[in-house]
A and B are shown apart, each in its own frame.
Chain A
Amino acid sequence: MSASTILQRSLRSGGLVTGAVIVVAMIALACAAPLVAPYDPNAQDVLSVLADPSAAHWFGTDQFGRDVLSRVLWGARISLYVGFVSTSAGVAIGTVIGVISGYYGGIVDRLIVAATDVLLSFPQLIMGLLLVAVLGASLTNLIIAIAVTAVPAFIRMARGSTLTMRERDFVDACRALGYGDLRIMFLHVLPNILDEIVVMASLWMASAIRTESTLAFIGLSVPPPTATWGGVVRDGFDNLLDAPWLAVFPSLAILAVMIGLNLMGDGLRDASDPKGK
């Protein structure tokens, strides 16, 4: 199927457009946080602690008097950045290993599959938790931990798709033209499985952001006072009964991005499905 058909179908799919609008809007807000955030996210104002949402503080303030709207906007930068970078790294590494494993087969393939099975038997969160605990909580380590959880899933998918592609005649035709294995794997096989990988990557990014938020919620993300969504929810959790908005607004931000990314992933899958209309 050609790229233009996929584009046409994408535009006709309401879910995909809605999802993309939400995600793009969130990214735009995160990028513009220094311009649009009304306050410094770390500035404490002892005179207005735990203030209700108002015209001055749309999302209220937390127990240190910090503006929650500003913290959610700045937190989006960390959360989206972690989600994007860790997913990209995990997808790239997993796909390359998966394509090589599926293309060559043999003993290396069997070892990779066995290792993948072991890694996949850990829930994503437990795996991330383990890695952050070992590596220490910092932005880089967080990205590494979440990327590592994505790698086995993409190895498995890329390997499976490569196995079916390897049997196709055009791969033999490539070999008959004297092309080397690297060229066949990455110039001929990879573009044929890329649509599936993009779909899964967009769904996986949602889960990476969720993992980051969960790790931040249990205190294993970027150290305070840096704002991340999960961290803002946790700060509000202590005063949940007095000031529910503290946890509600950042949770809504997480929810919105989850919905956006999932709509986008589903829409892309439908648009690239050759059996669709």
Chain B
Amino acid sequence: MTMEQGNPALIVDGLTTSIRVDGHWYETVRDISFSVGPKETLALVGESGCGKSLTALSIMDLLPPKVARITRGRIVVDGVDMTAADLATRQAMRGDRIGMIFQDPMTSLNPVLPIGFQIGESLIQHRGLSRKAARAQALRLLDLVRVPAAAERLDAYPHQFSGGMRQRVMIALALACEPRVLIADEPTTALDVTIQAQVLALLADLQEREGLAVLLITHNLGVVASVADRVMVMYGGDVVESGPVGAFFDIPSHPYSVALLAAMPRIEGGGDLQPIPGQVPSLPEMPTGCRFQARCPLRMPRCAELPPFTPVGGNPAHLVRCWARSEA
């Protein structure tokens, strides 16, 4: 998996998403920009509530209406500006050019429809295939995601599959129309470790074959290290650090990234996990400036101002947003 030059399949530019709590709108995802190219995997990392899933929902246009909305920014998928497009265009794009797989494969398939039908339905909808052709294609897709005895299982219902198999079916469903962008929201969190590895290997394989741009949302840094090309760390709705995976793990620079890595269990070395003290402030209590300041060991008065992105160690691809790093 190497980063390829060329048109990015997904561009997010200055995305700000707000959610409504008690009648007030709070910016929960703040001014996020990134792009993902074909065959590239960008990992979006952070703890629960940091805005990573909200970012994914914003891109997929799945925000719950009335309580969440995109307030600023642009989302461009395969050259189409989704934020400016009408509903019909957005629906034509979703499932066709951009696909998504969800965290829990137990609940993200319709329990009363056979899986062959569910995979074929997307092809009928987006590609105008006949029922028969869609069924043949569904069979090919099940083979592609390595569901054993695919021909016999086309008419099986989701409850007849294990969790790992269901996630494979979900992947087949998301990839049915050969999208250019795949958003994977914690795709392996609900699975056993061995199944996790299989599903990740399958995803990497399909990504190489189909030239997919993958936005991987996870809180698991082990997964990031094994499959991602670049990583973006989010805290409280801000991107605090971004860079190539190698550089990030070599010199994690934001105090939050450092703390996240220290909180990760390791096989060698033993020692206690280092929890991050405190918790993410609630939306009304978000401080101005850097949102990590209340939990930060390097806190200084300037933190009340939002720091700019600065390169780490002269590497323009590895950026951090912290006063303590930019002044050093």
A interface residues (Cβ-Cβ under 8 A, vs B) = 1-2, 168-170, 172-180, 183, 187-188, 191-192, 194
Task: Report B36-53 residues with CB < 8 Å from chain A CB.
Answer: none
Q: Are A177 and B173 touching (Cβ within 8 A)?
A: yes
With a cutoff of 8 Å between Cβ atoms, the chain B residues found around residue A179 in the complex are 91, 95, 121, 125
With a cutoff of 8 Å between Cβ atoms, the chain B residues found around residue A194 in the complex are 112
- CA of A51 to CA of B250, assembled, Å: 104
Q: Are B108 and A169 touching (Cβ within 8 A)?
A: yes
- CA of A178 to CA of B82, assembled, Å: 13
Nearest A-chain residue to B66, judged by Cβ: A106
- CA of A183 to CA of B113, assembled, Å: 14
- CA of A194 to CA of B111, assembled, Å: 13
- CA of A177 to CA of B99, assembled, Å: 7
Known contacts A2-B157, A176-B60, A176-B95; A170 and B108 CB within 8 A of each other: yes
Q: Are B111 and A173 touching (Cβ within 8 A)?
A: no
Q: Are A192 and B94 touching (Cβ within 8 A)?
A: no
With a cutoff of 8 Å between Cβ atoms, the chain A residues found around residue B90 in the complex are 178
Q: Are B110 and A177 touching (Cβ within 8 A)?
A: no
- CA of A187 to CA of B108, assembled, Å: 15
Task: Report B261-281 residues with CB < 8 Å from chain A CB.
Answer: none
Looking at A169, A176, A192, the one whose CB has the most chain B CB atoms below 10 A away is A176
- Interface 0/1 of B170-196, CB less than 8 Å to A: 100110000000000000000000000
- CA of A207 to CA of B108, assembled, Å: 38
Q: Are B62 and A191 touching (Cβ within 8 A)?
A: no
The 5 tightest CB contacts between A and B, nearest first, are: A177-B95, A178-B94, A178-B95, A169-B108, A169-B107
With a cutoff of 8 Å between Cβ atoms, the chain A residues found around residue B174 in the complex are 176-177
Say yes or no: is B126 at the interface (Cβ < 8 Å to chain A).
yes
In the complex, number of A-B residue pairs with CB atoms less than 8 Å apart:
70
Say yes or no: is B231 at the interface (Cβ < 8 Å to chain A).
no
- CA of A175 to CA of B65, assembled, Å: 13
Q: Are B113 and A191 touching (Cβ within 8 A)?
A: yes
With a cutoff of 8 Å between Cβ atoms, the chain A residues found around residue B93 in the complex are 178
Can you report 15 A-B residue pairs in the complex whose CB atoms are below 8 A from each other?
A1-B159, A169-B107, A170-B107, A170-B109, A175-B61, A176-B102, A177-B95, A177-B122, A177-B173, A178-B90, A178-B93, A180-B91, A187-B121, A188-B113, A192-B112
- Interface 0/1 of B82-105, CB less than 8 Å to A: 000000001111111001101010
With a cutoff of 8 Å between Cβ atoms, the chain A residues found around residue B102 in the complex are 169, 172-173, 176
In the assembled complex, the CB of B106 is this many whole angstroms from the nearest CB of chain A, namely 9
With a cutoff of 8 Å between Cβ atoms, the chain B residues found around residue A178 in the complex are 90-96, 122, 125-126
- CA of A131 to CA of B104, assembled, Å: 50
- CA of A191 to CA of B95, assembled, Å: 22
Q: Are B60 and A173 touching (Cβ within 8 A)?
A: no
- Interface 0/1 of B199-234, CB less than 8 Å to A: 000000000000000000000000000000000000
With a cutoff of 8 Å between Cβ atoms, the chain A residues found around residue B110 in the complex are 170, 174, 188, 191-192
Given A170-B110, A172-B62, A192-B111, 16 other A-B residues pairs in contact with their CB atoms under 8 A: A168-B107, A169-B102, A173-B108, A173-B109, A173-B170, A175-B61, A176-B62, A176-B102, A177-B95, A177-B122, A178-B90, A178-B92, A179-B91, A179-B95, A187-B121, A192-B110
